[in-house]
Chains A and B, each alone.
Chain A
Amino acid sequence: MRAREGAVLLVGLFLVALPLFGTDFFVGSIMTRVLMLGLVASSLVFLSSQGGMVSLANWLVFGVAGFAVGNMVATSGRGLKLGWAPWPSMVVALVICTALAWVIGSLSAKTTEIYFLMLTLTFAVIGFFFFGQVTTFSGFGGMTGIDPPAFFDDHPIRLYYGALACSALAYLSFRAIERSPFGLALQGVRDEPIRMASLGFDVPRLRTFAFTFAGFFAGLAGVLNIWWNGQIDPTSIGIGPTLDLLIIAVIGGIMHLEGAWLGAFIFVGANVYLREIPGLGSIGGFVQERVLAQERFNTVIGLLLLLIMVASPDGASGVLARIHSAIRPNASAKRRAITIDPTGGYK
């Protein structure tokens, strides 16, 4: 077994055992959210690392799944109020968001880099206003009181395991694709799209398939999220949360699949725990009273994220690599010898 698989297996086993000794809050709130955010972030990391597509529409697909479930399950309040059972609603929601991902993917597939980013951002903004203004499906007030299936209702640990299982499924699927002919072709499209096209590969179609595949898992995370959160409104899919997803992927390491969950853990952990560091508020006493106190904890989080990104463009996993290099300089020197080519360019 390779080191990577071993490490992931170790963490996976730990996560399976976590409810045995973790507090209800840590497991049911913190880690469930980490797994859901990691799941949707993994769809972005997959697109970025395998297809060279940094998308801002994954969060929209995530949100559409939530709105779809909300409209189908709710019996009162806003939206369609179809009153369907949760499980069939989940299936339909996944079909809807996978189809949406195919549409977005096919419309965006012919663009690259900043144009791809802007186009997917446009879809995200359209989604925000669509659900805000079309009150048939939501309105800005959003949908509340959405109950999960009875199996998960009032059983946060079960939902945690559900999120863990979905995360494992996504991880294994994305890893399997990496080594499949489709994955190799996708990597070719990422590195040399013109050459791949001249070799006869249908580049837009490959990108569309990748986007659709990623969209399915983003939708899966969206379904889990509304079961966990019980509500969704247009601000849930606004620009802020959309960028949060990108931040999660970047701080975790956007080129490493595992970085999606690592980034989510850092993001959620920082949001919950960083504000509670004793004495943090008084640090600001040098400048202004309470300048870094609880009500400004987002500033502290921002500084932390900035630190990670400045210290390691490859995210938190890159930070760990650097720490290891510092501890073992010989290995580090060997790595430099391998990765720096004679012309001075990094490979």
Chain B
Amino acid sequence: MKMKAHRRLLAAFAVLALLAGACGSDDAASTDATTDTSVAAEDSSGESVDETAEESGAEPADDAGNAGGDTSIRLGIMGECEGPFGGFHEDTVAGTTLALINGAGATSTSATTALDGFSGANVAGVDIELVGIGCGDDTADRAIQEIRTLVEQQNANVVIGPLSGDEGIAIANYALDHPEVTFINGIAGAQDATLHVQAPNFFRFNGDGAQWNAGVGDVAFREGGWRTAAVIADDYGFGWTSSAGFVADFCAAGGDVVSYVYPPLGTTDYSSFVQQLPDPDEVDGYFWVVGGTGTNAALEAFVNAKGDLDGSQHAGNLFFNPGIAAALGNDIAGAYVGGFASLPGDIVTPEISAYLDSADAAWESLGGGLSGGEADSPSVALGFGFAYGYYVGTLALVEALDAVGGDLSDNHSALRAELSSMTVEAPYGSVSLDANRQGIVDTFVAQLVLDEASGEIVQQTVAIVPQVDQTFGGTYSADTAPPERDNTDCAERSLPWHGNTIPVVDGVPQR
């Protein structure tokens, strides 16, 4: 008797829960993203997103599918609130928001965080409403779950994001199945997302991991006198892509890569991997792509196994930053560092100043990733690549929308044509897209130097590498395999930027 009643109760509960979910998902879409976001939506358009959906009288997911009749932009931001880059969640939303503040008249809801959304964004008569902020964790699975929620439940018709490489590939593939939605990459840098997937509605206004390292190999060869190099990189897509950029660049200049070592992501004891590297007297230099907490751990293992660091023998990608000197001392001075979206703080132009000033005017403070989540000047977050990537993507959206007079008809066809052909005059350099809708970008090579005044290691720009394209001067194409551990051909060749890099002296590009 008891068991029967129990089972009936179980069944009734299950059915009621399913009913609530099935019928309530519209309501869930209405409350959407953050609570503050719905306020933003109401502020900007006079009616909430859900009201719009309800008035249409059909299922929201279907509405999103019929984006040909879009009259407003329902913006979704695909960020990353967990995982190794979870600390940069604020940065990504701030980058998007600042572009809308500067270009679309938006106002941030809060003076101390971007995560509370914005209101009042309008371009060419088209309202831009924030319907949700996706919360990725650096995995493709989670990215797909989040993008499904943004697009299919919260009805986003334009998505800015994601942040990280494998997420970008997953979302580019998702874009293929959702031609009604326009996707503009945040700062994800996997090569495949554009070179191989080639979704016609996925646009990327930043470089990929290989592009960002253009010029490092050339500088190491010419200025550092390297003729042979060893590569040690995280054993995953971004590590492979970053090292591939160095290898292509260094070998093109005439160098030879004699050793590849790929520790698994998340390694804590690098001693066995460092032992596999040639000794300092057997190779001219080492290129490091070991991220997160691995950077210092790997270099410490190197010191223990191979002796003290000599900065002139080391180079790395964006993970190789002045912070490593805090643990390992100033011997790292002299090392070269690859680029990452924005430029180091030693370069100041009127455009950069105006951009950073606009960030400081938009918020009192932000708790971005560089400040460890603590309140800091907004320009600290916006000056770094994560926020800047989202800024440039959103800036492109705003400018393209303005150029087409807010025309969103026919699955945003006019908007997409404009995005494909435009040149975005962004603060840290102009960006245009290639045939795969991938950014052709300016990147840079920096050097870790000892600041005599403070006695600390700082990053100093030594060269700007102009207009680096994804094919790397013909090294990569849609027919080449995605970068893996050592599948980039080490061959001497001519690259467009070799001999054309712009030296930077005391923070002033010598154009």
Interface residues of A (CB under 8 A from B): 2-4, 6-8, 10-11, 14-15, 18, 21-31, 33, 76-78, 129, 132-133, 135, 139-142, 144-145, 154, 229-233, 235-236, 241, 258, 262, 265, 269, 271-273, 275-282, 289-290, 293-298, 317, 320-321, 323-324, 328, 331-332, 334-335
Contact = CB atoms under 8 A, between A and B. Distances in A.
A232 B320 CA distance: 30
B376 to A, nearest CB: 15
A276 B32 contact: yes
Contacts of A22: 21-23, 25
A132 B129 CA distance: 40
Interface in B34-49: 34-36
Given A26-B22, A27-B22, A265-B17, 17 more contacts: A3-B3, A7-B10, A10-B15, A18-B18, A18-B22, A140-B236, A141-B166, A144-B192, A229-B141, A230-B173, A241-B141, A277-B31, A281-B35, A282-B35, A294-B115, A294-B133, A321-B6
A135 B484 contact: yes
B235 interface: yes
Interface in B4-32: 4-11, 13-15, 17-18, 21-23, 25-26, 28-29, 31-32
A23 B166 contact: no
B420 interface: no
Contacts of A6: 7-8, 11
Contacts of B14: 7, 11, 14, 262, 265
Contact of A29 (B11, B31, B152): B152
A10 B190 CA distance: 47
B135 interface: yes
Given A132-B235, A295-B115, A335 B2 contact: yes
A24 B13 contact: no
Nearest to B15: A14
Contacts of A323: 9
Interface string B60-94: 11100000000000000000011000100100000
B192 A21 contact: no
B475 to A, nearest CB: 18
Given A26-B22, A142-B140, A233-B166, A297 B135 contact: yes
B265 interface: yes
B169 interface: yes
Contact of A235 (B23, B31, B141): B141
A233 B152 CA distance: 23
Given A77-B196, A141-B237, A23 B17 contact: no
27 contacts: A3-B3, A3-B7, A4-B3, A4-B7, A7-B14, A10-B15, A14-B14, A14-B18, A15-B18, A22-B21, A25-B61, A76-B196, A129-B264, A139-B484, A141-B236, A229-B141, A229-B144, A231-B140, A231-B170, A235-B139, A241-B141, A258-B10, A281-B35, A289-B113, A295-B133, A324-B9, A331-B1
A131 to B, nearest CB: 12
A320 B10 CA distance: 7
A43 B46 CA distance: 50
Interface in B465-494: 482, 484-485
A258 B3 CA distance: 14
B144 A140 contact: no
B202 interface: no
Contacts of A324: 2, 5-6, 9
A58 B265 CA distance: 24
Contacts of B18: 11, 14-15, 18, 31, 265
Contacts of A297: 135
B260 interface: no
Contacts of B17: 265, 269
Contacts of B11: 6-8, 10-11
B174 interface: yes
A16 B265 CA distance: 43
Main secondary structure of the interface of A (DSSP, over half): helix
A10 B166 CA distance: 42
A242 B37 CA distance: 34
B245 to A, nearest CB: 16
B192 A77 contact: yes
A28 B21 CA distance: 13
A140 B61 contact: no
Range for the number of chain B residues in contact with chain A: 35 or more
Best-buried of B10, B148, B174, B176 by chain A (most CB within 10 Å): B10
B317 to A, nearest CB: 17
A278 B35 contact: yes
B313 interface: no
Best-buried of A31, A231, A331 by chain B (most CB within 10 Å): A231
A135 B262 CA distance: 12
A11 B15 contact: yes
Contact of B89 (A139, A235, A295): A295
Given A28-B152, A30-B21, A141-B482, A23 B1 contact: no
A27 B170 CA distance: 21
B332 to A, nearest CB: 27
B394 interface: no
Contact of A30 (B23, B25, B86, B235): B25
Contacts of A295: 81-82, 86, 89, 115, 133, 135
A26 B25 contact: yes
B346 interface: no
B206 interface: no
Nearest to B148: A29
B197 interface: yes
Given A23-B26, A24-B152, A290-B115, A77 B33 contact: no
A135 B5 CA distance: 54
A141 B113 CA distance: 33
B308 to A, nearest CB: 31
Contact of B22 (A21, A232, A236, A277): A21
Contacts of A24: 59, 61-62, 152
A138 to B, nearest CB: 11
A277 B27 CA distance: 11
A23 B173 contact: no
Contact of A133 (B82, B166, B264): B264
B223 interface: no
A233 B143 CA distance: 12
Nearest to A277: B31
A23 B153 CA distance: 9
Contacts of A290: 113, 115-116
Contacts of A33: 145
B310 to A, nearest CB: 31
A99 B485 CA distance: 31
B330 interface: no
Contacts of B265: 132, 140
Nearest to A153: B177
A30 B59 CA distance: 15
